[in-house]
Amino acid sequence: MNRSSSLLLVGCGKMGGAVLNGLRKNGFSPDRIRVAEPDETVRSKLMAEGITCAASALEMADFNPDIIFLAVKPFLIEQIIGDIKPFTDKGAAVLSIIAGRRIEWFKDKLGDKTVVFRAMPNTPAAIGAGITAVVCSPQATEEQKQLTDRILKACGEVIWLTAEDQIDAVTAVSGSGPAYVFYLTEALANAAKTIGLSEETAEKLARATVIGSALLMRESNETPAKLRQNVTTPNGTTAAALAVLRDDKNGFDPLMVQAVKAAKQRSKELSGA
């Protein structure tokens, strides 16, 4: 990231805090960062760590950020959108991770010339293992794209989309996806209890199995399908289980298709698409 690049972070909750921590770990100078956060406890902690903070962006009129990272809860955006207009009027780009707010909404509020990036991260970003999909308005410069890419990579991988409509599909897959994995872990633990294992043993086995499998998938060059096949001995125990999970009508595949379609539809409804 360019030494002179500057960032105004609006909202420093879980996701905003994850981005901030990632940037600092990657050498982004604290004196190039300002944080607008209404929670006094959060502000005090950050200021003790050398980060300049204020309760709102309006209190930072002398700062000239290259990009404004919006990480507030969706219901708060209407309250604070006017606070950032003085910065966008001077050329600051907007990077939003706010669900349900399309690029055109920001242009309507901030002016048609405003450069807007819309991103969809997921919760593993909190430990630097997330994946974020991002799309931008046409007038974004290459320099602005590179800065946005570097900011988001502080929390994991980044994928650039070619159309904003793809955000709804991304939301259904990776945005909501961690909940599917957590629920799978719950279901596996519950199933373990039905066949005689204690609650403690069942949960420990389920958690370790999911975590270990995810790490193996990350480190392996083989596809998930191939990794599955590697575990599956013909006519063995895994094959017996997969015969149930892969049922054409009631198995995991058609159920997952229904789930992600429902999530995508809800994402479209929330954004007014």
User: 273: pLDDT confidence band, cut at 50, 70 and 90?
Assistant: low
Q: Which fold has domain 7-167?
A: Rossmann fold (3.40.50)
Ranges of each domain in the chain: 7-167, 177-270
* Same-fold call for 7-167 versus 177-270: no
Q: Which fold has domain 177-270?
A: ProC C-terminal domain-like fold (1.10.3730)
Model-level pTM? 0.91
Q: pLDDT, tens digit, for every residue of 175-194?
A: 999 999 999 999 999 999 99
* Mean pLDDT of the chain, nearest integer: 94
User: 1: pLDDT confidence band, cut at 50, 70 and 90?
Assistant: very low
Does the pLDDT value for residue 3 go beyond 70?
Answer: no
Q: pLDDT, tens digit, for every residue of 23-40?
A: 888 888 888 999 999 999
What mean pLDDT do residues 130-144 have?
96
Q: What is d(CA 98, CA 96) in angstroms, rounded to the nearest whole number?
A: 5
Q: pLDDT, tens digit, for every residue of 222-269?
A: 999 999 999 999 999 999 999 999 999 999 999 999 999 999 999 999
